[in-house]
Amino acid sequence: MSKPETFFLTGAASGIGQHLAEKLIAQGSRVFATDVNFDALAAHAQTNGWPAERMRLRKLDVRDAADWERAIEEAVMAFDRIDVVMNIAGYMQAGWAHEATPEVVDRHLDINVKGVIFGTQAAARQMLKQGDGHIINIGSLCALSPIPGIAIYSASKYAVRAFSIATALELRPRNIFITTVNPDAVRTPLLDTQKGIEAAAIVFSAPKLLTVEDVARAILEKAIPHKPLEVNIPKHRGWLAHLTNLFPQYSAIVKSFLIKRGAAKQAEFFAQKTGKDGPLI
């Protein structure tokens, strides 16, 4: 595959997806941007002058396999082919596992797992027809090591990583690549929903929260050019996650420290957002 020119994104109305769409537009790529919140997506595109000749917007519910098929067909009709599909849309609601409602469980599995599976299937079928392609699925560092307080989210991202790696090995001989990108906690609207949730403390435990630019850089400079099976962001936290996964009997020691540090940083994060305290370290 030559340098990719046509991209299909989910979750493009905010956060990582929105930032990536901006970066791709700026570099002259053609982008088929989707989100379940179409009004927010369209408003942002209009405000920021996304060029109509290189941009298509569409509402997409990633939980709907048929909607995925239609969206991929429309993208091909608009741009002839799709070089890269990025499954970015996601959902996280922290909380103790025994307290999670059936609705919360369903939402995690429907959006994070089924959404990625349906998207990967639809993208792969098109890429098999055109002879090549690259699928990027957003996982999480909690796909490497389970995290207390976000057990349902961890389970969904474990599934994303397992599915992505297994499917990547199926498709590589046919010139289709799948990369799982596993970031640590990122400053996005998803993180904003964790205010006041004790179980979410460990999510904030990183020395420094990632930015959407950190994730975009990893995708554009590592994942797309080199097509690895996975990219962990940052690398040192990825190694820590691998280590605690290898020795789960000892992970409680590490995680008790991370929970304590995360609780302090969680309070600091939301104090900063309301202007009551200094910058997050």
Measured CA distances, 47 to 22, 27, 51, 228 (Å): 12, 19, 11, 35
Q: Where are the beta strands (DSSP E) in the chain?
A: 6-9, 30-35, 55-59, 84-87, 133-138, 176-183, 230-233
8 Å CB contact between 84 and 133: yes
- Copy the structure tokens of residue 242: 């691998």
Distance CA 44, CA 50 (A): 9
- Copy the structure tokens of residue 273: 């957002």
The catalytic site residues sit at: 153
8 Å CB contact between 175 and 131: yes
The contacts of residue 101 (CB under 8 Å, 6+ apart) are: none
Q: What is the DSSP letter of 186?
A: B
